[in-house]
């Protein structure tokens, strides 16, 4: 496990690439962003917008929205800056939080049309269970309808443009299998939603139950773009500030040591996403706080050292109440939960501390120290520039 020399991004993130100077692909992309000719990109976006407006359809574009900070930015930008008539599409998550519902309502109250789709909750619950047991990732199945519904609605309503938020290749550095640039069509190749719906056939669920989990076959005439590629002011913090100014609410009484994340305005619509960050932490040695501080470091809002301190303090933290909530939802015991987590823990990165309680978080202790390169085994050592420290 090595860390980027500019941010605390580890090389354990699937799809990340490091260069010879030990700079991660996200930092590389962030540097490129500084020298972009934004005037030219804005002009490109303007041309795309004018082309779809000429079609004179009922709606000019589809925007998939959760009701969070990025949704607010995208919807307002499309309508007020580009002069488009957007149709917002929401895929309601399981256990939709009250603050998540209120934020979605806040967004449409500013004058937008919304179609809200609720994939069959019985199917979703079964798939969430399958995602947890088979991939150690309970939110994996929900990622499919989240992206696919925009394409389905664009296809059904004959809407020529889909505006998506940030390109993970540019903002997270996930460059393997995902193109950098403005074309969002490549999202279909992305690690999280790769493979077809047949992988979700489970416990009596057939393909007709998975309509919203599949991208339409006929996509001719539909274009999909990443807004982050075209708009200079797109940023994690900037979008949050913008959305707050439009009435976005954060998680009430937010405590990073209970949620494992710093920003109370992120991942507010469902608690399963918070729980999934704990699983990500055990699998790859980093959680949501790493992502958050990396954004701030790349935008010059935080030093790498300050970011590392926050990651050490909060990454992988989670209140037991979220675990119990999840166990209750999929109908398993807490014992089964931890027994399953055990299977997915990366044993090169964590060791079991037998002096601690057996079925509680913290039982698995990191062998690594955040920000300090760590090579688990000599025989696995990869050909990287000399690590700062090995222990
Ligand atoms: Zn980096």
Closest CA to 216 of 192, 196, 194: 196
CA of 23 to the centre of ligand 1 (A): 5
CA of 30 to the centre of ligand 1 (A): 9
Residue bearing the bigger pLDDT, 191 or 166: 166
Tell me how far the alpha carbon of residue 389 is from its chain's centroid: 31
363 — pLDDT class (breaks 50, 70, 90): confident
Q: What is the spatial distance between Cα 179 and Cα 176, in angstroms, rounded to a whole number?
A: 8
pLDDT at 381 over 50: no
Strands across the sheet containing 86-91: 113-117, 86-91, 61-64, 161-164, 223-226
Residues 266/251, Cβ–Cβ less than 8 Å: no
CA of 258 to the centre of ligand 1 (A): 26
CA of 218 to the centre of ligand 1 (A): 38
Residues 295/171, Cβ–Cβ less than 8 Å: yes
CA of 302 to the centre of ligand 1 (A): 13
CA of 3 to the centre of ligand 1 (A): 8
Return the number of other C-beta atoms located less than 10 Å from residue 382's C-beta: 8
CA of 7 to the centre of ligand 1 (A): 4
pLDDT at 93 over 50: yes
Q: What is the mean pLDDT of the chain?
A: 88
Q: What residues have CB less than 8 Å from 108, skipping those under 6 apart?
A: 88, 114
CA of 333 to the centre of ligand 1 (A): 39
CA of 26 to the centre of ligand 1 (A): 6
Please count the residues of the chain. 391
Q: What is the spatial distance between Cα 239 and Cα 384, in angstroms, rounded to a whole number?
A: 36
Residues 278/344, Cβ–Cβ less than 8 Å: no
Please calculate the CA angle 30-32-37 and round it to the nearest 5 degrees: 120
Beta strand 350-352 with 364-366 is antiparallel
Tell me how far the alpha carbon of residue 166 is from its chain's centroid: 10
292 — pLDDT class (breaks 50, 70, 90): very high
Beta-carbon neighbours within 5 Å of ion ligand 1 = 4, 6-7, 9, 24, 27
- The CA-to-CA distance between both ends of the chain, in Å, stands at 11
pLDDT at 243 over 70: yes
pLDDT digit string, tens, across residues 251-282: 888 999 999 999 998 888 889 999 999 999 99
CA of 388 to the centre of ligand 1 (A): 16
CA of 379 to the centre of ligand 1 (A): 26
CA of 43 to the centre of ligand 1 (A): 30
* Rg of the Cα atoms in the chain: 21
CA of 69 to the centre of ligand 1 (A): 24
pLDDT at 361 over 60: no
Q: What is the spatial distance between Cα 117 and Cα 146, in angstroms, rounded to a whole number?
A: 10
CA of 4 to the centre of ligand 1 (A): 5
CA of 128 to the centre of ligand 1 (A): 32
pLDDT given at position 178? 59
CA of 210 to the centre of ligand 1 (A): 38
CA of 172 to the centre of ligand 1 (A): 9
pTM: 0.87
pLDDT digit string, tens, across residues 142-178: 888 988 999 999 999 999 999 999 877 777 777 665 5
């Amino acid at each position: 496990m090595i860390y980027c020399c500019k941010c605390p991004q580890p090389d354990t993130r699937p799809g990340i690439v490091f260069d010879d100077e030990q700079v991660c692909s996200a930092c590389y992309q962030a540097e490129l962003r500084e020298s972009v000719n934004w005037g030219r990109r804005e002009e490109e976006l303007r041309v795309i917008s004018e082309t779809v407006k000429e079609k004179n359809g009922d709606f000019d574009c589809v925007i998939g929205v959760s009701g969070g900070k990025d949704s607010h930015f995208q919807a307002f930008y499309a309508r007020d800056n580009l002069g488009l008539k957007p149709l917002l599409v929401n895929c309601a998550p399981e256990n939709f939080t009250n603050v998540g519902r209120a934020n979605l309502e806040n967004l449409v109250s500013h004058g937008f049309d919304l179609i809200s789709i609720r994939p069959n909750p019985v199917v979703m619950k079964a798939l969430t269970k399958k995602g947890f047991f088979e991939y150690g990732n309970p939110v994996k199945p929900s990622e499919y309808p989240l992206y696919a519904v925009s394409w389905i609605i664009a296809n059904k309503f004959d809407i020529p443009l889909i505006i998506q938020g940030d390109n993970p290749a540019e903002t997270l550095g996930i460059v393997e299998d995902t193109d950098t640039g403005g074309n969002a069509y490549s999202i279909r190749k992305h690690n999280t939603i790769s493979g077809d719906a047949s992988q979700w056939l489970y416990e009596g669920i057939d393909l007709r139950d998975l309509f919203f989990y599949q991208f339409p076959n006929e996509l001719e005439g539909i274009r999909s773009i990443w807004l982050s590629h075209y708009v200079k002011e797109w940023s994690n913090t900037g979008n949050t500030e913008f959305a707050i100014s439009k009435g976005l609410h954060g998680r009430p009484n937010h405590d990073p040591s209970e949620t494992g994340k710093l920003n109370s305005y992120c991942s507010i619509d469902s608690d399963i996403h918070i729980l999934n960050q704990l699983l990500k932490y055990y699998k790859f040695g980093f959680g949501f706080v790493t992502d958050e501080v990396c954004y701030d470091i790349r935008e010059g809002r935080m030093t790498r050292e300050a970011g590392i301190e926050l990651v050490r303090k909060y990454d992988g933290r989670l209140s037991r109440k979220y675990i119990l909530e999840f166990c209750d939802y999929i109908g398993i015991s807490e014992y089964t939960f931890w027994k399953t987590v055990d299977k997915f823990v990366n044993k090169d990165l964590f060791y079991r501390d037998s002096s601690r309680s057996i079925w509680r978080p913290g039982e698995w202790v990191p062998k690594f120290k955040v920000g300090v390169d760590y090579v688990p085994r000599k025989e696995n050592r990869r050909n990287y520039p000399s690590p700062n420290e090995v222990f």
